[in-house]
Structure 1
């Protein structure tokens, strides 16, 4: 899917930004890059964008703190938060602060475009963001799969007592059935 929209890409990794910018250009997307909060705000004040890909860690600065400022300066900006260190808490906080989606690196250009396009419907028809419980369950399932179903190893990886994890797994299986 190609689009002629203008995107602002904000990440402290210049090499990643340049590769992403070139890949988006092949998809018909005009993308501008910024490597810091100051550069992003300066760019946003001189140009209007329809979409923004915002990394959570900007060389020690927080993308979560930048997110509301971006929306304050351009309220119709769709912001997708991208991070290499995903967590349920930061995903919830990013959505609470106005992000339309949250993806974990590494991502492909098609995943980024889909991350926006999946939500490019009228605001009243946008799906509700997942609840904390749903996000927790998805995270538990991902870690459980990484540990090949080993509950003890999963509990250690989640820094959770094994019995607590077993209760959560039992509770969810009863809820699903």
Structure 2
């Protein structure tokens, strides 16, 4: 822990932005235990207020938030503090969004579910070496299941609309949704 605290530096301020309150609370506790001084925001607007008050040295920002895009938070923080280390988290691991995040000033990009160890490694990485692969990555079946569930929720649990957006047959989707998710 002391070694990690020396890697963090003298300014351990950390802004965590995510609209999943349970995840946000758990991550804040875990990051505080690792030597960071966490502040949390559940929305773009709340994050902007915190950045305006005091731009943190580190930030972890969800890409998709209820009231907007996390990239707006990345851009605002980069404008206020050019040396901030910013990690973008998202449930969608698409190359296009990773490129957009890095172009906007993110230091790194992590796909959910990322744990506190993944986040800490990304925040403290010098960028010279690739980080080690995750100890327990999600299976391809689990990634597919998570994506289907997210689209289903975004379509307000409308099976027909979800099937249309995922380019799948409605009955196939119904069968998938009726089963428990893979581990």
Query: TM-score band, normalised by the shorter chain?
Result: 0.5 to 0.7
Q: How big is the shift at 1:66?
A: 2.8
The answer to whether structure 1 residue 17 and structure 2 residue 11 are counterparts is: no
Deviations, residues 61-100 of structure 1 (Å, cap 9, x unaligned)? 1112332122112222111000011101000111111111
The answer to whether structure 1 residue 44 and structure 2 residue 44 are counterparts is: no
Q: How big is the shift at 1:60?
A: 4.7
If the length of structure 1 is used for normalisation, what is the TM-score? 0.65
Which of 55, 68, 71 is equivalent to 2:75?
68
Give the match for residue 156 of structure 2: none
- CA pair 96-127 structure 1, distance change in 2 beyond 3 A: farther
Q: CA RMSD in A?
A: 2.4
Q: Distance in 2 between matches of 1:60 and 1:48?
A: 20
Q: Distance in 2 between matches of 1:70 and 1:105?
A: 22
If the length of structure 2 is used for normalisation, what is the TM-score? 0.63
- CA pair 114-128 structure 1, distance change in 2 beyond 3 A: closer
Other structure's SS at 2:93 match? coil
Q: Distance in 2 between matches of 1:113 and 1:46?
A: 24
Which of 29, 33, 36 is equivalent to 1:26?
33
The answer to whether structure 1 residue 146 and structure 2 residue 146 are counterparts is: no
Give the match for residue 112 of structure 2: 105
